Amino acid sequence: MRALRGLSLVLGITLLLMPVASAAPVLGDLQFQREGGDEMAAAFPPSIFPHWVHRVRYRCDACHDSLFPMSRGEVEISMKILAEGKACGACHDGTEAFDDSFQNCSRCHRPLD
Amino acid sequence: MASQASNPAPVAAEPSAGGAPPAEVGQSQAEQLPPPPIEAILSWEQAQAELPGHAMGGVDWNEALEQDIIRPRHGTDSNAAQAPSFDLDFYIKGPSKAMDAWFPHSAHTQWLSCENCHGSIYRYRQQELKMADLYAGKSCGACHGKVAFPVTQCKRCHIDM
């Protein structure tokens, strides 16, 4: 679905997505990048992952390394995997945290601010 | 935080005479207390205003724990296995005393389990630890600069520098 080890194309999209993101990035805020780029990215950005929101609530070992490795782009994450209750879906299920219903898409799919 | 300060958490080791059931083994106090007010905040600007800053910049996350502003959980399962707290704090020898690096297990095991480091990142002793690896995002740099305070804050590790 996505690989971070990707291409100036991906970089181009990233820059396009967040022209001022380098101004004051929050330490640990990530944005996923999709393998081979994504034509829709400007209109519907890949998901973000803000570490700070999560570390206010959880220790690192709530996620690492059982749900995610401490690296980027090594495991596959997609909406299908979320819907199976894996990866983000282990929590974003409507009980522990908001789910993937339509009013919530843009809480994850937005540019990094 | 004043309300919490005036209502200190019970000491788990002293079962109260009042007959309250003792805490279940494997459950931390963090999981028995309600979530702290900061968990209602989703804006970084607002959260940052609640979190203690560090003199060298950024949030001082261990101070936030100390002040009970955050109570990070082990996971969604409130009975999840507890990582033991581990107070083995020491200096990692450098080429000179001023270059020694402070490594507090205590500051790390509040967040991390042993397996997060021992296994993938470190053996237990006598490895070659070098700044060059940190700058390359390895060793301590696997976290510092990505999620934990950055490598540019030299004196947080090189206390005597």
| Chain A residues within 8 A of B61 when measuring between CB atoms | 55
| Chain B residues within 8 A of A56 when measuring between CB atoms | 38-39, 41, 47, 70, 72
Among chain B residues, the shortest Cα distance to A63 is held by B75
Given 3-state DSSP classes, what are the helix, strand and coil percentages for chain A, each rounded to the nearest 5? Answer: 30, 10, 60
Rounded to the nearest angstrom, the minimum Cα separation between B147 and chain A is 4
Domain harbouring A90, CATH code: 3.90.10.10
The predicted pLDDT at position B83 comes to 61
How many residue contacts between A and B have a Cβ separation below 8 Å?
A: 74
Q: Residue B128 is which amino acid?
A: E
Q: Residue B87 is which amino acid?
A: D
User: Residue A46: inside a domain, yes or no?
Assistant: yes
- Note the ipTM here: 0.77
Which one of A48, A53, A60 would you mutate to disrupt binding with B, by most B Cβ within 10 Å of its Cβ?
A60
Would you say B112 and B121 are in contact if contact means Cβ atoms under 8 Å apart?
no
Domains and CATH numbers, chain B: 1-12+87-161 (3.90.10.10), 17-84 (no CATH)
Task: Per-residue pLDDT tens, chain A, 113 aa: give them.
Answer: 444 433 333 443 443 333 333 445 899 999 998 877 677 777 889 999 999 999 999 999 999 999 999 999 999 999 999 999 999 999 999 999 999 999 999 999 999 87
If one counts the domains in chain A, the total is 1
User: Residue A56: inside a domain, yes or no?
Assistant: yes
User: Bridge-partner residues for B122, per DSSP?
Assistant: B118
Using the beta-carbon criterion (under 8 Å), do A60 and B112 form an inter-chain contact? yes
Residue range B7-39, pLDDT digits in tens: 333 333 333 333 344 434 444 544 467 889 999
Whether the per-residue pLDDT at B3 is higher than 60: the answer is no
Among chain B residues, the shortest Cα distance to A93 is held by B76
Using the beta-carbon criterion (under 8 Å), do A60 and B116 form an inter-chain contact? yes
Higher pLDDT, B46 or B29: B46
Cβ–Cβ contact B83 with A under 8 A:
yes
User: Residue A113: inside a domain, yes or no?
Assistant: no
Residue range A38-65, pLDDT digits in tens: 777 778 899 999 999 999 999 999 999 9
Cβ atoms within 10 A of the Cβ of B99, count?
13
By Cβ distance, the residue of A27, A58, A61 closest to B113 is A61
User: Residue A30: inside a domain, yes or no?
Assistant: yes
DSSP line for B26-38: T--HHHHSPPPGG
Higher pLDDT, A81 or B76: A81
Using the beta-carbon criterion (under 8 Å), do A57 and B70 form an inter-chain contact? yes
Cβ–Cβ contact B11 with A under 8 A:
no
What is the residue range of A8's domain? 2-108
- The residues near A15 (Cβ < 8 Å, ≥ 6 apart) are none
Among chain A residues, the shortest Cα distance to B68 is held by A56
> Measuring CA to CA, how many Å separate B48 from each of A24, A56, B31, B78?
13, 11, 24, 27
| Chain A residues within 8 A of B44 when measuring between CB atoms | 26, 50, 52, 113
User: Residue A100: inside a domain, yes or no?
Assistant: yes
User: Residue A93: inside a domain, yes or no?
Assistant: yes
The predicted pLDDT at position A24 comes to 57
